[in-house]
A and B are shown apart, each in its own frame.
Chain A
Amino acid sequence: MVTNLTEPRQSAWHADGTLHEPLLIEPTGYVEHAGRVIPIYDSGNETSTATIVLVHGSSGSARGSFWAVYPILTFTRRVVAFDLQLPADDADLTLADAVAQLRAVVDHASGEGPVALVGYSFGAVVAAAYASERPPAVASLSLVAGWSKTDRYQLLRNNLWLRLHDADPEALCQLTLLMAYSAGFLVGRNERDWRELQQAAAARPYPVQIMRLNRDIDIELGLSRIDVPTLVIGCRYDDMVPLHHSRMLFGAIADARYLEIESGHAVSVERPAELAVVVDDFSLDPHEHPAGTIIRNDHA
């Protein structure tokens, strides 16, 4: 199985030799749902292979979760991402609302055929919940650093997060860095990259509404209904959504295969190329590995 190379490709270059703007900042369009407009980012290249739909995590935006992964995926296929819309006036976000928004986006993106759905972290929860409805517009499912039922360990962190969010933004930033990245990654950064990581964590605290919803996720019952080929990706040094969650997803979904990446929760920052390549390969040929396979990425 090789990358399908006869597709029109997404080029970063304008005809005059200048580059496109950074991606996932300006929406390419909007999908309307229940009176709200959901910004979408559609790479627009035509593909005969499944379009990928990306569901972002607790960072609250497509760019926050996928700035590095989205462009890589567009090398081989059409990719659609979107920014989940949060209810006004700090009202609670519900999982049903998030799923409904995802459904609207998938309905839009699946004009050419069923899509390859990819959810990261909280987005994996949303994607799995949606997939358990057995939507015909979904061809395959990738769940990256996802979970199905919030446990005590996550609550402990979530409690701390909510308290610091109101009381001490600086400490909140440090908690986020501690939890999001693996120790090896943090230690290995040079001063410049370390400064950038700190700045990014301080500039974009996760939306409180998502963090509140994260407290009582329970989609376990639906997992057995998922009937599309699924790839579960766990992050070995994940302190936000520890590995046991991914292993449970692997156990719960009948047609699942499993792969671990050596990173913290922020796999899309620590190992963007590995994540993108793995997701791309799976989405192209979801049945390459039979259900139950533990896929081991080749050592370099």
Chain B
Amino acid sequence: MHQTSTIEPQSTTTHAKIAIIGSGFAGLGLAIQLRRRGESDFIVLERADDVGGTWRDNTYPGAACDIQSHLYSFSFRPNPDWSRVYATQPEIHAYLREASIDEGVQPHINFGAELLSCTWQARAAHWALETSAGSFTADFVVTAAGHLSDPKLPNITGLEKFERPMFHSARWDHSFKREGKSIGVIGSGASGIQIVPELAKTAGQLTVFQRSAPYIIPRVDHAYTTAQKSMFRRMPETAQALRDELFWGNEARFPQRRGIADFIAKIETTALDHLAAQVPEGELRDKLTPDYMIGCKRILISNDYYPAFLRDNVALETSGIVEVRERSIITNDGEIELDALVLGTGFEAADLPITHRIFDENGRSMAESWTSGGAAYACSTVAGYPNLFIMNGPNSGLGAGSIIYVVESQIQYILGALEFMDSTGASTIEIPQQAQDNFVAAIDERAADTVWLNGGCYSWSVDHRYGRLTTVWPDFMTRFRRESGRFKPDEYLVDGKLVDGPRRLESVSV
């Protein structure tokens, strides 16, 4: 499948109706639905050598989802065999891989094909894609390149000088032998709190460098029994009922993000009581007590993170990192010698790398076009970039809920748009700037009342260059689907013209 890279592509350029960038939950989900509809004129470009995205890359010890697996999976490929409430990385990766094989998606994927640039060709009315594995053209492009897929490294003096093993949580070095070593972990976010209890078991000395203490609530996790799994298999409606219950349970967490006092009080006491139950009063508990309003940063779930700090070989360092040296970290309190350094410092979420590789007909990147941070109509389409849909782009993340619900809403939207284009025979579709601005203004208005912008923390959900909430959806998931899950052509320019009269399509269900 691999193409050879050439500069003068014309003869080796492959054309497809649809090009999908990325083969994580989003890209695979769309590819599966295209296949199920009998569409075969599409390609998937994936820079790595396997499917799975997040669940291929995050192989660190302890990696697991933190939304229940019966909800955090495709509704159209239910899995009665989830081993536990929160499946671990190998199981989720296997689920995605199996889906890609079963559904006949694999032959469409070009592995080792990193998208380098993607430029709109107005005359030809298609996209020209340059990749590390050759050139392609496509009538439609869907970016499914992830919102948490490019590791973010901390901006710390001397980091590059460290000469011992150092790696990001999403690029775990499995050749590293951790037993007995002195290991540092920078970051106490979602990945950090999963890694720490695992490393603590065998490390000689583990030092956790924390900038801001997270809120942590109990992880209500258990293995599913054979009887339960068999019940889910024999009576799929029981698995669906569980999924619905989990969905609405997560929806009921959203009022926390709107700062509703009763909801805040309940979740805050849950978290602080959890801390108090696991860590005795004193300096350690003080350091582990957050100083911002709950929900401003992701609320984490763990039963074994706090207890790890009660071990003799684990220390919590909060005095602040001054610099990194060849074999140590200098803090405001002194020097800590390290055999290895793990960076659990998260991802480039607000300034999405892929948007620096998508260019309009004048060569302006999508990132540049966003003069005040990520913005898209229906969280999917961007003015100036026709025939292109973004998955998990602007305002598509969640503070409480399963991204798969968002992904499936977007799949539905894109299929609706593609069907519309097929039915009209039109060749281009583009959202006018004004329609996009109106849509985004309505998001901003809701965002203004949320904890992300009021809770007194430095959240990666916010694009701090502009003070705008650009990564998460500031409303219920159900509202996302209602507003962005059903394609309506009304506001689009189709072949340069507004569609006359509201033309409604039957909604496509996945």
Contact = CB atoms under 8 A, between A and B. Distances in A.
Contact of A262 (B245, B402, B479, B481): B245
Interface string A197-209: 0000000000000
Interface stretch (A104-112, A159-167, A266-274): A266-274
Interface in B264-301: 264-265, 270, 273, 293
Interface in A229-252: none
Given A273-B254, A274-B251, A19 B446 contact: no
Given A71-B260, A190-B218, A9 B446 contact: yes
Contacts of B97: none
Contacts of A20: 259, 261
Given A2-B482, A23-B261, A299 B251 contact: no
B8 interface: no
Interface in A13-36: 13, 17, 19-23
A72 interface: yes
A6 B443 CA distance: 11
A300 B71 contact: yes
Nearest to A24: B262
Interface string B231-275: 000000000110111111001101100111111110000100100
B265 A300 contact: no
A2 B446 CA distance: 14
B9 interface: no
Q: Say whether chain A's binding surface is mostly helix, strand, loop, or mixed.
A: loop
B247 A13 contact: no
A274 B248 contact: yes
A221 interface: no
B49 to A, nearest CB: 33
Interface residue range, chain A: 35 or more
A289 to B, nearest CB: 14
Query: Most B CB atoms within 10 A — which of A3, A21, A271, A300?
Result: A300
Interface stretch (B316-324, B448-456, B493-501): B448-456
Interface in A263-285: 271-274, 277, 281
Contacts of A3: 475, 479, 482-483
Contact of A68 (B218, B255, B475): B255
A75 B254 CA distance: 11
Query: Most A CB atoms within 10 A — which of B255, B445, B475?
Result: B255
Nearest to B243: A300
Given A2-B483, A9-B445, A22-B265, A299 B240 contact: yes
A300 B449 contact: no
Contacts of B263: 68, 71
A91 interface: no
Contacts of B446: 5, 9
B13 interface: no
Contacts of A190: 218, 220
A13 B259 contact: yes
B262 A23 contact: yes
A174 interface: no
Interface string A67-82: 1100110010000000
Given A190-B220, A273-B254, A19 B262 contact: no
Given A2-B483, A12-B260, A68-B252, A273 B476 contact: yes
A300 B71 CA distance: 8
Contacts of B252: 68, 271-273
Contacts of A136: none
Contact of A192 (B240, B262, B270): B270
B255 A72 contact: yes
B124 interface: no
Given A190-B220, A300-B75, A273 B449 contact: no
B7 interface: no
B117 interface: no
A265 B259 CA distance: 27
A16 to B, nearest CB: 10
Contacts of B482: 1-3, 281
Contacts of A5: 442, 445-446
B212 interface: no
B479 to A, nearest CB: 6
B248 A273 contact: yes
A170 B168 CA distance: 56
Nearest to B409: A298
A53 to B, nearest CB: 20
Query: Most B CB atoms within 10 A — which of A23, A190, A277?
Result: A277
Interface string A119-142: 000000000000000000000000
Nearest to A281: B482
Nearest to B270: A192
A290 interface: no
Given A3-B479, A272-B252, A300-B75, A12 B259 contact: yes
Given A2-B482, A23-B262, A13 B449 contact: yes
Given A9-B445, A12-B449, A192-B270, A68 B262 contact: yes
Given A12-B449, A19-B293, 6 more contacts: A3-B479, A3-B482, A17-B456, A68-B255, A68-B262, A274-B251
30 contacts: A1-B482, A3-B475, A3-B479, A3-B482, A6-B442, A11-B449, A12-B259, A13-B449, A19-B293, A20-B261, A23-B260, A68-B255, A71-B255, A71-B262, A72-B260, A188-B245, A192-B270, A262-B241, A272-B252, A273-B251, A273-B478, A274-B251, A277-B251, A277-B476, A277-B478, A281-B482, A298-B481, A300-B71, A300-B247, A300-B405
7 smallest beta-carbon distances between A and B, as pairs: A300-B247, A12-B259, A273-B251, A5-B442, A22-B261, A71-B260, A273-B252
Interface of A: 1-3, 5-6, 9-13, 17, 19-23, 67-68, 71-72, 75, 184, 188, 190, 192, 262, 271-274, 277, 281, 298-300
